Structure 1
Amino acid sequence: MALTDITRTAVEKAIEEYDRLGRDAFLKRYGFQRARRYLLVHHGGHYDSKAIAGAAHGHLPGQRPLKAREFSGGAQHVARVLRGLGFEVMDDHQPDQPGHQDQPEHVGPAVGPEQADLPQDTLSRDELVRRITRLAVNRASGRPALYKPITLLWAMGRARRGEPRLLPWTRTEEALAELLRRHGMRGERPRPDYPVASLCRDRLWTLPDHPDGVPSAHGDATVRRWFAEHQPRGGLADPVYDVLRHSAVTRLAVIDALLDTFFDDLDAAPLLADVGLDEAEATDPTAGEGHGPEQWLVTAAEYERGCRLLEEREAAVHGERVARVAHRHRRSRAARYLVLARSGGRCENPRCTGQPDDVTDRRQPILEVDHVVDLALGGRDHPSQMVALCPNCHAVKTRGSTRDTLRELLLKVALERHTGAGR
């Protein structure tokens, strides 16, 4: 056993476990105390570095977690190893260290001061998706109102592009009013104050200058008057913005969930195009951000997380709802992205005779994601039954004389690639 054996993937698995369990439960499970000095910084979150390193060793094949007494957590040990893997490690006893800022007591995914009371479990990617899809919305017409879904999708598009989290109220009001006019397909009025006030109550939105004064999103004149008088700057809560900004898989899973929950009988494509979350997001989530194709390849931990979100989505849409979804071919953007990332840019048919050397306008490989068993025939919208194919192999699988044999092979390949991607 050696601390230097740990890999970046093993550390990311430990971070994911930390997020899922919460700080105290994670430390108790592995027998560590809170970090006295060194904190691992990842996607805005702060983690006990020694505990993460010890737990990460247990995520290596055939290895067990290291106990606290078995290694040192100092600068020449844990911090050095983690930095060597490309992670940032902050010395919490050096406030004058470049880039250092005083941190709140809460450790885990970052929480801004205005959101200090936000429960820690809301910061996990799984719980974020659940909270967003369980939004309480007005259903006076028998269908869910689109105020809050439209507002969230607009904010997600901004997060994806890395635009500032907080905006003056005049800019928020102008942008959302126009979106509600154009895409309020269930009679929504151009009143951004309603969804913003309600999302603050959901703890998904923040108005940092007014932590306790946001009125209830009921009535009419009171809400309108409050926003007109206070002109609050605001935006997504800091941890929500951070996750949606940095995790393409989570962002796509949230889009899937919002469409399933609120747009089941509507065409949301024009809205998604307006907010910058159109179909291209599923094939290149970092398009326009200055990244190369390799930047959207997911880690094993992110792949596993994305599949778990997909499986929860599967469980939520059953019976007649599954029949409607399959019939309308509303396929998961997150699943498509995971398959493309898993493929490494190469056709997954082991008998492929040659993938095109050309690339798309976005500099991505020319690949098509295929459900080996059609959804309408009972196939799963899940990477374990999906493959990335070059156009020629896709054509053979769809209408070639050997398609039945190829489909049988591709089912095995899909499961093998899926299993291997999560390791």
Structure 2
Amino acid sequence: MALTDITRREVEKAIEECDRLGRDAFLDLYRFGRARRYLLSYGGREYDSKAIVGAAHGFLPGRRALTAADFSGGAAHAAGLLRTLGFEVTEQPPAAGPTADELLHRVTHLKVNRSSGHPALYQPITLLWAMGRAARGEPRLLAWSATEKALAALLTRHGMRGERPRPDYPVAALHRVGIWTLHGHTGPGPSAHGDAAVRRWFTGNQPVGGLAEPLYELFRDSEVTRLAVIDELVGTFFDGLDHTPLLADVGLAGLETPGVTGPTAAEPEPWLITAAEYERGCRLIEQREAEAGRDRVRRTTLSPKRSLTARRLVLGRSEGRCENPRCTGQPADVTDRRHPILEVDHVVELADGGRDHPSQMVALCPNCHAVKTRGSTRETLRGILLRVAAERHAGVPTRAQDIPPAEGSPGSGASDRAAAPPGLHGPI
């Protein structure tokens, strides 16, 4: 994916489509929110610059439209491209309120009640439910009666630490930190404390609410972000509990298999990933690593489950091809979901001090995985794969001629595709 491939012709086609459909229908079709800062001025009308560029990419031969998570709309990216093509772009004052990244930081640093000695699950259950709705593209805002009914049922079934079926508690708490928006009420918002007063506020006001819009759009468009938040919520709040039924109930089960939900599900190659997504996912993994290292209690109580995010990033980086430079041929077949037959492997096991991070992980075909696990040359191969993982993570192509041949093999045994650059969609 390269924004620089877009010309005026594709942009004008996107503008024509927006005029034909109308602004809101156009944004819904391409799953963008309204522009908060940069507007494209054309023919006496204004358009959402990032959405226009995302749609324009889909008019390139053989390309798909981009989602909001695929690229930046800032002055150096979408807005800059439009100006380079000769379009007028106006800049609005920065919107008030937190950015998507700031909101995401609040989600991954939830403060919950721990008076029982364990973290309460009200807010994590509510967030996972809302994330599932976003992944399916369901409306962001919902009437309180519908929210109350859905969350009360979830809290009854999955409140594994004695949580009562009281959705007003978590919604009020999430609203107070800006993660949840509430509309249609008079006066100040609800207090996050107390009991009867919180219930009375929701009963009397019957607000319409949901995730803050930037956060909803991020959860809707970015599978990597959803996986990172699941990793965080599960590791922090569900330690020692079986969270699998809850994820199934909210529609987030099976996300360790790419392409199950979300806007990428119907695409021909759902394992592909953009450079922006790869960078964001690694940043979230590294943030979690750093915080676990500083927090002694957290480090000893974290679930041993491996990161869904890291696995997804490595599979996306691989572009569906075995990352072993010595691979003599992986299966040409794919799974029922059109996914490559690959296994993501930790080159250095976590028990031996390895990191749950793409820089120490590789995607291997079943044959190469077996050699790395129990082959007589496994120690040599492990050293090669550790180097390959670091290079591909850094965006450095692995050169086949630099890899020593396997013992007893004619020539190098490395496939030509080993010299290909990392499997990302290209520059952002």
1:62 matched residue in structure 2: none
Shift, 1:145, TM fit: 0.7
Do residues 166 (structure 1) and 146 (structure 2) align?
no
Contact 1:133–1:261 (CA under 8 A) maintained in structure 2 = no
Distance 1:106 1:175, change over 3 A: farther
What is the DSSP-based 3-state SS (H/G/I as helix, E as strand, rest coil) of the residue aligned with 2:339? coil
Amino acid paired to 2:97:
L
Alignment of 1:24-423 (within 5 A): 37=41, 40-42=49-51, 51-52=76-77, 73=83, 77-79=85-87, 105=92, 107=94, 117-119=96-98, 122-124=99-101, 127-210=102-185, 212-278=187-253, 280-287=254-261, 290-318=265-293, 319=296, 321-322=298-299, 324-325=301-302, 328-420=303-395, 421=422
SS of corresponding position for 2:208? coil
- Gap runs ≥5 in structure 2: 7-35, 43-47, 52-66, 396-421
CA distance in 2, matches of 1:55, 1:105: 15
Q: After superposition, what is the alpha-carbon deviation per residue over 1:72-104, rounded to whole angstroms, capped at 9, x for unaligned?
A: 937xx244xxxxxxxxxx977xxxxxxxxxxx9
Structure 2 contact 228–281 (Cα < 8 Å) conserved: yes
- Rounded to whole Å, the distance in 2 between the matches of 1:198 and 1:301 is 31
Partner of 2:142: helix, strand, or coil?
A: coil
User: How many Å apart are 1:330 and its aligned residue?
Assistant: 1.4
Q: CA deviation at 1:226?
A: 2.0
SS in 2 for 1:282: coil
How much does 1:375 deviate? 0.6
Partner of 1:59 in structure 2? none
Residues 51/374 of structure 1: CA separation in 2 closer, same or farther (3 Å cut): closer
The 1:118/1:369 distance shift into structure 2, 3 A limit, reads: same
Deviation per residue, 1:348-396 (Å, 9 max, x gap) = 1122222222222222111111111001111001100001111221122
RMSD across aligned C-alpha pairs, in angstroms?
Answer: 3.1
Identical-residue share of aligned pairs (%): 61
Unaligned runs of 5+ in 1: 9-22, 25-33, 57-71, 80-89, 93-103, 108-115
* Aligned-partner Cα distance in 1 for 2:122–2:297: 26
Q: Which amino acid aligns with 1:73?
A: R
Paired AA for residue 257 in structure 2: T
Structure 1 stretches of 4+ with a deviation exceeding 3 A read 4-8, 34-39, 42-56, 104-107, 285-290, 319-325
The answer on whether the counterparts of 1:49 and 1:73 sit within 8 Å (CA) in structure 2 is: no
SS of 2:258's equivalent? coil
Tell me the CA shift for residue 231 of structure 1. 2.1
- For 1:276 and 1:355, the matched residues in 2 are separated by 32
Tell me which residue corresponds to 1:100.
none
Q: Relative contact order (C-alpha < 8 Å, sep 6+): which is higher? A: 2
Displacement after TM superposition at 1:178 (Å): 1.1
- The farther-off stretch of 407-416 and 311-320 is 311-320
Task: State the alpha-carbon separation in 2 of the partners of residues 216 and 147 from structure 1.
Answer: 16
Match of 2:32 in 1: none
Please give the TM-score of this superposition, normalised by the length of structure 2. 0.72
